[in-house]
Structure 1
Amino acid sequence: MKIYNGRKFSLEVEKVTLPNGFERELEIIKHRGSAAILPLIGEDEIILIKQYRPVIGKYIFEIPAGSVEDGEDVFTTARRELEEEIGYQAEELDEVLSFYPSPGITNEEMHLFLAKGLRYVGAKPEPYEIIEPVKVKIQDALAMVERRDIVDAKTIIAIYFIARKQT
């Protein structure tokens, strides 16, 4: 049963039968999916965004990301979000992994892209996005995670991914 149908997701209540035969009613946030982009400059620098998140009432550091729009594939989403949020186009855009950010409540699958060969064309953030791009050395980003200056899950995954690639 659909409870809510919004622009980015819907909230539904479904009865499911688990593999052990147990039946359960679930509240599920159904989501079209999302793309997150790790913009790499040279070999050792990335671009993060400092973004105000009204749901938690504070600024946090993140990588650019956004929801898949109707009729869009994840590559198109990644290219659109990269340009909108930080103003870059990528010569190379490779999907490096995908994951479920919160599988206990949503079916959202997030696709992580690595963007290389960046060319600045000008940012076009949405009016409701309060964003400041910040260039950070990968080692400094790791230190920010360890100090808990970076608390966003997709960003932590992306930073550990790129740091591991360098070793």
Structure 2
Amino acid sequence: MANTPDWKKPPFTRDDVRITRRETLYKGFFRADKVTLKHKLFRGGWTEELSRELFLRGEAVGVLLYDPDRDLVGLVEQFRAGALDEPSGPWCMEIVAGMIEDGETPEDVARRELVEESGVEAGELEYICNYLPSPGGSDERMHLLCALVDLRQAGGIHGLDEEHEDIKVHVIPAGEALERLYSGRFNNAAVLLCLQWLQIHRPQLRRQ
């Protein structure tokens, strides 16, 4: 089969969607809407009117801690209700993360959350990418960064009591983390993407 020549440019834009009705189903810490819409079809014409439930999560930031001088990574572990049925249990190994609030940049959030969740202050920040974790049902956008830090004194339990956070910091040799990348210990997209990025850029970061 020949390559599709037009894959690099999306064929449609936001103007090719018509929202006819929107209602809020739930609004608390999160929000869920029911959206009724029509959109253009690849074969031409428009869909019939259809409804989708949309989980409104907003923009978030995730940060991998990396100490290039000692070749160490810093990860956090915490309870996650969405992982209750995981065979290994609902405690997940993750990167530091938080939501973007009004007026903040991803870099602002990265520096704030690093202190709150790991007790580490960031030096240089490397922007990795942004992506949509689950665009079939959520508007969340995740920005990923790597913080170049000194991890010699990192560790312990962190988090905000008022947010019921109980976050354990792990400092791991980078080589060991990368060797176990697909072992199942890292079971969420953000930490996998960050460690894959580190696998590619690690030699360059160590030279810097």
TM-score by length of 1: 0.89
Q: Deviations over 1:44-94 (max 9, x none)?
A: 211001211133232111111112234433222111111110011112123
Quote the offset at 1:131 in angstroms. 1.1
Name 1:156's counterpart in structure 2: 192
| 1:18 aligned to which of 36, 39, 45 | 39
1:6 aligns with one of 20, 25, 28: 28
- 1:116 partnered with 2:148: yes
Contact 1:32 1:69 survives alignment (8 Å): no
1:125 maps to which of 148, 159, 164? 159
> Relative contact order (alpha carbons < 8 A, sep ≥ 6): 1 or 2 greater?
1
Q: Identity across aligned pairs (percent)?
A: 27
By how many angstroms is 1:124 displaced?
A: 5.0
Residues 122-158 of structure 1: per-residue CA shift (max 9 Å, x gap):
9751221121100112221123322111111100110
Tell me, in whole angstroms, the C-alpha distance in 2 between the residues paired with 1:123 and 1:91: 21
C-alpha contact (below 8 Å) 1:83/1:123 kept by paired residues: no
Q: Report the secondary structure of 1:91's partner residue.
A: coil
Contact 2:65 2:149 in 1 (8 A): no
In structure 2, runs of 5+ residues without a counterpart are 1-22, 85-89, 204-208
TM-score normalised to structure 2 length: 0.72
Pairing of 1:131-150 with structure 2 (within 5 A)? 131-150=167-186
1:32 matches 2:54: no
Structure 1 or 2, whichever has the larger Rg, is 2
Q: 1:92 aligns with which of 121, 124, 128?
A: 124
* Greater mean alpha carbon deviation, residues 115-124 or residues 79-88: 115-124
User: Helix, strand or coil: the match of 2:181?
Assistant: helix
Question: Gapped runs of 5+ residues in structure 1?
Answer: none
Listed as ranges, the matches of 1:51-90 within 5 Å are 51-57=78-84, 58-90=90-122
Moved over 6 A (4+): 119-123
CA separation in 1, counterparts of 2:28 and 2:102?
A: 12
Whether 1:166 and 2:192 are equivalent positions in the alignment is no
